[in-house]
Amino acid sequence: MDNTVSTTTSLQMAVFRKVYFWLSIALAITGLTAYIASNNPAVMNLIMGSRAGIWILLIIQLGMVIYLSARINTMSLQTASMVFVLYSFVMGITFSFIFLVYAKTTIYTCFFITAGTFLVMSLYGFFTKKDLSSWGNLLFMVLIGVIIASVVNFFLKSSTLYYIISYVGVLVFTGLVAYDTQKIKALIGMENNEQSQKLAIIGALALYLDFINIFLFLLRIFGGGNRN
């Protein structure tokens, strides 16, 4: 029995090392791409010059997430890796605007706060004995409320509602870090190496989205409009 538990734990840790590896790669690609793109006038004109540019990028991102999530079990490991890396790159292009809107010190501060929060909640999700499955429905319902409130506030332009949405958004995605971590852990079985690699990629995608959303909501809370 002890040997079985030890083997399962070792397998889970091995897979999560891959999850965090892919997550780190994705965040590095996104951050570096965003920084480089923000200093390229041609790229910024393409993105900020018209709403069509932003919408095209958003549609591409959504399509890539749906494609990767739906086809992860049938596509090759090489294809899954390529799609995830490409998705991280496109996200970097999309988020290059933050270097034009927020001070660099604010961006770096929010990043480190996000990283610390993420680490604590992911470790909690991995090691806790508490079943977090009930969090899923609750967090999803609150997230729907955040989306609806964001649409409403697009017209109302209420600063109070803006900050309420931002704080709630941080709480929702902070909770999702723990929930998604435990969910990934529960999916780990006796996969072969390629299956475990693909599980690591799809798990990294879920945690990547949690990380990015916490970061963006924190920017909304702490960010000013001044650049360094």
Measured distance CA(64)–CA(118) in Å, rounded: 24
**What digits encode the pLDDT tens for the residues 2-57?**
555 566 788 899 999 999 999 999 999 999 999 999 999 988 887 777 778 788 88
CA 107/CA 33 separation, integer angstroms:
15
Q: Is the pLDDT of residue 190 over 90?
A: no
- What one-letter code names the amino acid at 141? M
d(CA 215, CA 174): 10
Can you list the alpha helix ranges (DSSP code H) found in 39-158?
41-48, 51-71, 77-94, 98-101, 104-127, 133-156
Place of tokens 């029995």: 1
- Would you say residue 227 lies in a domain? no
Is residue 196 a part of any domain in this protein? Answer: yes
Taking the CB of residue 120, how many other CB atoms lie within 10 A of it? 13
User: In the predicted model, what is the mean pLDDT of residues 186-196?
Assistant: 81
pLDDT tens for 125-143 read 999 999 999 999 999 999 9
Q: Does residue 147 fall inside a structural domain? A: yes
pTM score: 0.92
221's CB contacts (< 8 A; 6+ apart) are 163, 166, 167, 170
pLDDT tens digit sequence for 92-125: 999 998 998 899 999 999 999 999 999 999 999 9
Has residue 228 been placed in a domain? no
Q: Is residue 26 part of a domain?
A: yes
Domain of 160, in residue numbers: 2-222
Number of domains making up the chain: 1
Tokens representing residue 113 in the block: 């706060």
Contact assessment for residue 193 and residue 139, using Cβ atoms and an 8 Å cutoff: no
Q: What is the DSSP letter of 24?
A: H
Does 188 reside within a domain?
Answer: yes
Reported as a single tens digit per residue, the pLDDT across 173-189 is: 999 999 999 999 999 87
For residues 125 and 97, what is the distance between their CA atoms, to the nearest angstrom? 32
Q: What is the mean pLDDT of residues 153-157?
A: 93
